Amino acid sequence: MNELLYQISITLINGVGVVQAKQLIEHFGTAENIFKAKKKELSLIENIGEIRAKQIKDFNNFKEAEDEISFCEKHHIKPLFITDKNYPQRLLNCYDSPTLLYYRGNANLNNSKIISIIGTRNNTDYGRKITEQIVEELSSQDIVIVSGLAFGIDAIAHKKSVQLNIPTIGVLAHGLNSIYPSQHKNLATEMLLNGGLLTEFTQNVKADKHHFPRRNRIVAGIADATIVIETASKGGSMITAELAYNYNRDVFAVPGKITDAKSSGCLQLIEQNKAVIFTSAERFLFEMGWSELKKSLPKKQRELFIELNDDEKIITQLLEKKETVHIDELYLKSNLSSSSVAAAILNLELQNIITSLPGKMYSLA
């Protein structure tokens, strides 16, 4: 039996999740060595113990792994094990990175610039226009756009990417022998021409509500940054944004009306300093360090057109003293309440007077 057979088989063992599989690979080097190890040696590995060691030694469902290999060969699917050089390297920084991924496509999973665009399934016209605008403004960049092939913002981002010939990857919550939702079969086919489909699930696994959070962690972890277009305060997009934040990825959120439920999640992320406010693709590229920013209005010219309240003046004065200031320093030196600082920062960002940088740092625009 070849190594790929053992690699697939590792993912089929009940009780052995991605964290345990990673520990086993780190210890034994190859999947084959895991299966050939003695039960006693397996049981001594951290988080394995006797029960999981027995499950590994008792595993005999190699036929399913063989069928998966045949399916991959027939449909030109590339299995990418966690030790494969073509495995998405950004995911390796995530503690719960998938053990094995199945990839059909030609986009570079390790492109120098990868962003995830996510949002509600029930988008507004504003959400559609903003999504299309963002994708279009990024079309001149060597960027791969990732999303979840769901209804709403996901599909809009994929479709606009296809239209503009931007590589786009759909991360699925099921195996590659089907497309969910089925209405996106044609879109998925178009994406394969200059992009791809990615999943950690074997061919016969159907879409299930428990699979979507697993899908979301790949969307969050595979990218340098996640842009949230529209989302309520609860839902899959908020889960993905939270995952990206916890993976130390940059998160950006498009602001909307405070009365719009579909923007409440974005405003919540901004308010909690878990997301940088997204105002333009130009500013986004600058904050990611991917481009220079056109010179902004000089200080005196800004003052001519914008009236600041007392709290906003305090924040701008602090930012004038240093090139960048951490949020904690603004709280400390402003002597304002946390809510007053947050409100002042939000208003200043909306007026493009200050900009939020990764690491909860702020500077004058």
Residue range 23-37, pLDDT digits in tens: 999 999 999 999 999
In angstroms, the CA 80 to CA 102 distance is: 6
Partners of 174 in the β-ladder: none
Q: How far is CA 215 from CA 25, 30, 152, 174, in A?
A: 22, 25, 17, 9
Within 10 Å of residue 29's Cβ, how many Cβ atoms?
A: 11
- Express each pLDDT in 202-211 by its tens digit: 999 999 989 9
pLDDT at 174 over 50: yes
Contact 195, 172 (CB under 8 A): no
Amino acid 297: pLDDT: 42
More confident residue, 291 or 148: 148
Mean pLDDT of 3-17: 94
pTM (2 d.p.): 0.80
Closest CA to 193 of 174, 218, 166: 166
pLDDT of residue 294: 57
Dihedral over Cα of 90, 215, 244, 195: its sign = positive
- The full set of domains in the chain, from first to last, is 1-74 (1.10.150.20), 105-287 (3.40.50.450), 299-364 (1.10.10.10)
Reported as a single tens digit per residue, the pLDDT across 290-302 is: 886 654 444 444 4
Task: Label residue 306 by pLDDT band (50, 70, 90).
Answer: low
pLDDT in tens, 234-274: 989 999 999 999 999 999 999 988 888 999 999 999 999 99
> For 91-146, how does the pLDDT look when each residue is reduced to its tens digit (9 = 90+)?
999 999 999 999 999 999 999 999 999 999 999 999 999 999 999 999 999 999 99
Edge-to-edge order in the sheet of strand 114-118: 78-81, 100-105, 195-199, 168-171, 144-147, 114-118, 225-228, 250-253, 276-277
Tell me which residue of 133, 127, 173, 130 sits closest to 152, measured CA to CA.
127
Give the model's pLDDT for residue 365: 77
Give 60-92 pLDDT, tens digit per residue.
999 999 999 999 999 999 999 999 999 999 999
The amino acid sitting at 339 is S
Average pLDDT, the chain: 91
